[in-house]
Amino acid sequence: MRRWIEIVYLLWWAWLCMALLHELGHIAVGCAVGGDLEHFELRPWCLPHSLFASNSFPLLTLWAGPILGSVSVLVVAAIVRRQAVWFVAWFSVVANGLYLLAGYYSGDSELDSTKMLQEGTPAWMLIAVGAAMSIAGYIGFRSEFQRAVSGNASPLSLRSIVISAGAMVILVLLLAVMGSR
């Protein structure tokens, strides 16, 4: 039972990290290239999004979300070298890849994929990147998930759970207060 509680806990962390890092990728790059950030929403109970009033490099800003949202957490996992962090990292990769593919196939005008196509990204590139991220992320996440379920993963220590739960509470409180503009 404890193992499944840990897995649900890790999935919550994975979702929170993936959504936050994806959107922060858009915001950081959009602002770095001189974009005028008009509105953003990062609170975990809302759908994260950002809106730029003007942006000279919209494609760069659009691609920054899924790319930085995946690469940044992979870099952290490579540095920290903890199974729980790899679990979160591979979840982020597969989620961002599937998001690109789902957005392409849905055609929803508010999703990144549709905006990428409107700004000139070739459809084949969007599909190729989304598929590559989905496949690589699936392989990595499946491996980490199997390790967690089988009991071969190192169980989370009480210290790790307390520290990460405290960090999650602080993060959610900060996002509740400052996560929207």
Over 90: is that where the pLDDT of 3 sits? no
Q: Do the strands 36-41 and 49-54 form a parallel or antiparallel pair, or are they unpaired? A: antiparallel
With b for 16 or more beta-carbon neighbours within 10 A and e for fewer, the 113-138 pattern comes to bbbbbeeebeeeebeebbeebbebbb
Alpha-carbon span 59 to 117, nearest angstrom: 9
Alpha-carbon span 86 to 143, nearest angstrom: 10
pLDDT, position 172: 63
pLDDT band at 43 (very low <50, low <70, confident <90, very high): confident
Which one has a higher pLDDT value, 57 or 164?
57
pLDDT band at 160 (very low <50, low <70, confident <90, very high): low
Which one has a higher pLDDT value, 177 or 61?
61
As given in the structure block, the two tokens for residue 82 are 């903890």
Q: What is the mean pLDDT of residues 17-27?
A: 94
Asked if 52 and 38 count as a contact pair (C-beta separation under 8 A), the reply is: yes
Average confidence score pLDDT of the chain:
87
For the chain, which residues make up each domain, given as ranges?
A: 2-178
pLDDT band at 139 (very low <50, low <70, confident <90, very high): very high
Over 90: is that where the pLDDT of 98 sits? yes
Task: Annotate 60-120 with three-state secondary structure.
Answer: HHHHHHHHHHHHHHHHHHHHHCCHHHHHHHHHHHHHHHHHHHHHHHHCCCCCHHHHHHHCC
Over 70: is that where the pLDDT of 22 sits? yes
Asked if 101 and 127 count as a contact pair (C-beta separation under 8 A), the reply is: yes
pLDDT, position 161: 65
pLDDT, position 138: 92
Over 90: is that where the pLDDT of 63 sits? yes
pLDDT, position 2: 76
Q: What is the mean pLDDT of residues 92-112?
A: 94
As given in the structure block, the two tokens for residue 151 are 């009991």
Give the range with max mean pLDDT: 34-38, 83-87, 147-151.
34-38
